[in-house]
Structure 1
Amino acid sequence: MTKLSVNINKIATIRNARGANNPNVVQVALDAERFGAQGITVHPRPDERHIRYQDVLDLSEVVTTEFNIEGYPDTRFMELIKRVKPAQATLVPDPPTAITSNAGWDTITHQSFLKDVVAELQGYGTRVSIFIDPEEKYFEPAKTTGTDRVELYTEPYAVQFTKNKQEAVNPYVKAAELARSLGLGINAGHDLDLHNLKFLKENIPFLDEVSIGHALVCDALYYGLENTIQMYRRQLEI
């Protein structure tokens, strides 16, 4: 079964726009779990423009599904993981000024660095996933880092999907099969939505987890959060 982890960064963005505590990020996370989310994802950034570090601490006290913390493994991120010990830490190569994640790790160039980071995080009892492009050359080096999983960066899939969905998914199927042959778990995320998620799942039935935030929150404006989470869950129940 592929689990749905709901990224609540956009909820924090809405809250921060007014400076108060509406919507309440912690309450939304609890409600998302109650509505069927099988995990909660956050991506705290150094400028705290959406999820704040205090949010992560508050959420760690109440999240009962899989808590996934994404981020670049700088000193503050590593200290946060050490303190919270979430179910999963997803490593992304974002610079501090990035609006959103837009590329996977070059696991060849950064193999030594990632190996040290992965070992430290696993020492806290946290599963590690590395955000990665669907290019074969990055997978064996990823395996060498000791990571538990890779997360396929799916924006290129989403962009190509509207033009030719089979061509869009082919490199992801190939990459996922390679990852599986190496004994790596497989997550996926970025620009997945109600239009393209089912096709990805049909072609990669052994996906462990998808993390979805922006599209899910946008859909919730029309369908409501509970209904939207159930709609996304149904795309994965194949």
Structure 2
Amino acid sequence: MASLLIVLAAAGGYLFGSIPFGLVLTRMAGLGDIRAIGSGNIGATNVLRTGRKDLAALTLILDAGKAGIAAAVLGYFLGTTAGLVAGGFAFAGHCFPVWLGFKGGKGVATFVGTMLAVFWPVGLTVIATWLIMAAIFRISSLAALAAALVAPFAAYAWGRPDVAIMAAVLTVLIYWLHRANIQRLLKGDEPRIGGKKDKAETDASADSEDPDTPVT
């Protein structure tokens, strides 16, 4: 019975997390396929390239909320472990949605929503880390990578090894999905928040997905 509940939590979390809100919202607004512009990403950063800050903000909220709702609701009805599994699979659904050929976003907003739902102090720590790093360095991807890295250590420090393990697994996935950003960071080519991109940076962004992180 316990195994069945975990499977149900995984399936429910994945299906809910795989809803591509950025794609749905931009199509409803008559802006076409968001995957055809900018980096081709379905997250808030690429939605912002349409010039619609309202849609970008709504995408960010919904991408975070879908994981948070999946983790909170299934955790409430099926137990803590099921909630963690649902949150983790909601993250996987966002990054690898079956409806889009398993090509989704980079999951930072979804990661934040999951952390807030399974253990809110860690979620707030992640948000605070992102804001501090973004304010200091003005690089969205660097802020996202730092915020994700903090999560498992924060969870362990608060006595939640279960959350720490899940956060560590998701952080590894975030780093893998941001490998192109990491390469640009090492080269010093990663664009800054609010800065103008030169042609090389624009081409680099078009070749890889941008992080699902707020830049509004």
Answer 1 or 2: which has greater strand percent. 1
Greater per-residue helix proportion: 2
Q: Which has the higher contact order (CA 8 A, sep 6+)?
A: 2
Q: What is the TM-score with the length of structure 1 in the denominator?
A: 0.30
TM norm structure 2: 0.32
